């Protein structure tokens, strides 16, 4: 086989080959659930934020935020902004269940772009990840599986790059944030977690003295472990791809449980301790991209079996105790 043919084979295995759409379908469901919930948190304030009822409106809004596009720079009547938002909610629900998925995805994305573009200062870094994931998911044929479209027209394979692009995005998020953490609280002192958890801007609990007691034994080692995990995430994704290219040989261990298990506990911890908008649910949702279609199918089959068993048990108990 020539070099070009080999490269072509690698490119196909990495990106262009088709796979069962179930895993991407599940990814769509969990990500769009988070997006929809986040969208619904705007209820009641949409016109105040994005219409001419906002304190920055008309040409001054465009002057304040010149580098972004937004439909709401041109359509700014409060009723029209609310109507577009309402359309966005409907589009999200359709995207979630996978009906008219492509159109629903584009409309949902356009509504988010318009909201972010009209007033980017209402959004944090957590929301930035949401916008990025929304854009990437919109570009994917995510309605090909686990959707009403698939039920109607039949499931179609999806290219493997879809899940890999989400994996790559998370590798970029974690590794770049890890590399940018160059300060002494992350390195010499190991106090970064303490300061993050003690910040009154977004802490859930006021437990400074307890955190200070835990600092030398728990928070300092955890600060360094988090840093190593973040920087190492790209290596993990690289090894994960290599393992998949080589046909998952036994000598290459599956590191997903280690890396994603740590990530899951870390994000649950962050969610419990801090207000970080939808950052933790989003990150955890992206971990679905690391599940293979056959694994998602197995999980689905297990859940169905469990559901059937519960139903049988309920029916049996009703028979024995009709009252």
Partner 1 sequence: MTRGIGRLLHALFVLTVVTFILVPNIPSKHFAPSSTLAKVALQVSFKQGWQMYSPNPQRSQTYMNLTAIYADGSERRLEESAQENVAWNTHWMWNKTRVDIWRQYANFSPKKRNNNRIWYLKGVCVREARRGNVPHRIVMHQVRRRFTKPHKVAQGASALGKPKRTFVTVQYCKHPIVLDMIEADQASEVRG
Point out which span in 98-106, 143-151, 188-196, 282-290 binds partner 1 (CB under 8 A).
Answer: 188-196
**How many angstroms separate the CA atoms of 168 and 171, rounded?**
5
Site for partner 1 in 147-166 (CB under 8 A): 159, 161, 165
**How many angstroms separate the CA atoms of 48 and 116, rounded?**
14
Residue (123 or 262) nearer to partner 1, CB: 123
Number of residues that bind partner 1 (CB under 8 A): 74
Residue (41 or 265) nearer to partner 1, CB: 41
Please report whether residue 212 would count as binding partner 1 according to CB under 8 A.
yes
CB of 77 to partner 1, least distance (A): 9
Residue (99 or 241) nearer to partner 1, CB: 241
Please report whether residue 270 would count as binding partner 1 according to CB under 8 A.
no
- Kindly give the pairing relationship between strand 158-159 and strand 18-19: antiparallel
* Residue-wise DSSP of 66-132: TTS--GGGT---HHHHHHHHHHHHHHHHHHHHTSSHHHHHHHHHHHHHHHHHH-GGG--HHHHHHHH
> Residue with structure tokens 């995005």?
169
Please report whether residue 231 would count as binding partner 1 according to CB under 8 A.
no
DSSP type of residue 276: B
Residue (49 or 259) nearer to partner 1, CB: 49
DSSP type of residue 12: I
Q: Which of 1, 3, 5, 55 binds partner 1 (CB under 8 A)?
A: 55
CB of 309 to partner 1, least distance (A): 37
As to burial, measured by CB atoms within 10 angstroms (0-12 exposed, 13-18 middle, 19+ buried), residue 2 is exposed
CA-wise closest residue to 163 among 283, 300, 284, 288? 288
Point out which span in 22-30, 85-93, 173-181, 287-295 binds partner 1 (CB under 8 A).
Answer: 173-181
Site for partner 1 in 271-300 (CB under 8 A): 275, 277
Site for partner 1 in 60-119 (CB under 8 A): 60, 64, 67-69, 112-113, 116-117, 119
**How many angstroms separate the CA atoms of 89 and 136, rounded?**
19
């Amino acid at each position: 086989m020539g070099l070009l043919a080999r490269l072509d084979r690698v490119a196909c295995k990495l990106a262009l080959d088709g796979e069962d759409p179930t895993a991407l379908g599940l990814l769509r469901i969990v990500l769009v659930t988070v997006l929809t919930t986040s969208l619904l948190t705007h209820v009641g304030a949409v016109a105040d934020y994005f219409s001419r009822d906002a304190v920055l409106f008309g040409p001054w809004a465009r002057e304040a935020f010149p580098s972004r596009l937004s439909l709401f720079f041109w359509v700014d009547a409060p009723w029209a902004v609310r109507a577009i938002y309402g359309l966005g909610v409907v589009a999200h629900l359709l995207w979630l269940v996978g009906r008219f998925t492509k159109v629903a995805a584009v409309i949902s994305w356009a509504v988010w772009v318009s909201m972010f573009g009209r007033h980017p200062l209402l959004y944090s870094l957590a929301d930035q990840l949401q916008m990025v994931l929304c854009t990437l998911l919109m570009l994917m044929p995510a309605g090909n599986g686990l959707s009403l479209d698939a039920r109607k027209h039949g499931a179609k394979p999806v290219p493997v790059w879809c899940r890999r692009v989400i994996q790559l995005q998370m590798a970029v998020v974690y590794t770049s944030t890890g590399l940018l953490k160059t300060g002494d609280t992350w390195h010499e002192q190991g106090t970064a977690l303490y300061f993050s958890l003690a910040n009154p801007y977004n802490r859930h609990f006021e437990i400074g003295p307890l955190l200070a007691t835990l600092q030398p034994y728990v928070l300092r080692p955890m600060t360094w472990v988090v840093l190593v995990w973040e920087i190492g995430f790209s290596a993990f994704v690289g090894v994960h791809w290599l393992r998949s290219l080589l046909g998952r040989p036994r000598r290459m261990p599956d590191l997903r449980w280690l890396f994603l298990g740590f990530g899951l506990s870390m994000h649950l911890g962050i969610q419990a301790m801090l207000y970080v908008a939808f950052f933790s649910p989003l990150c955890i949702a992206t971990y679905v991209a690391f599940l293979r279609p056959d694994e998602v199918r197995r999980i689905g089959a297990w859940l169905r079996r469990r559901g059937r068993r519960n139903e049988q048990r309920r029916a049996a108990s009703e028979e024995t105790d009709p009252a």
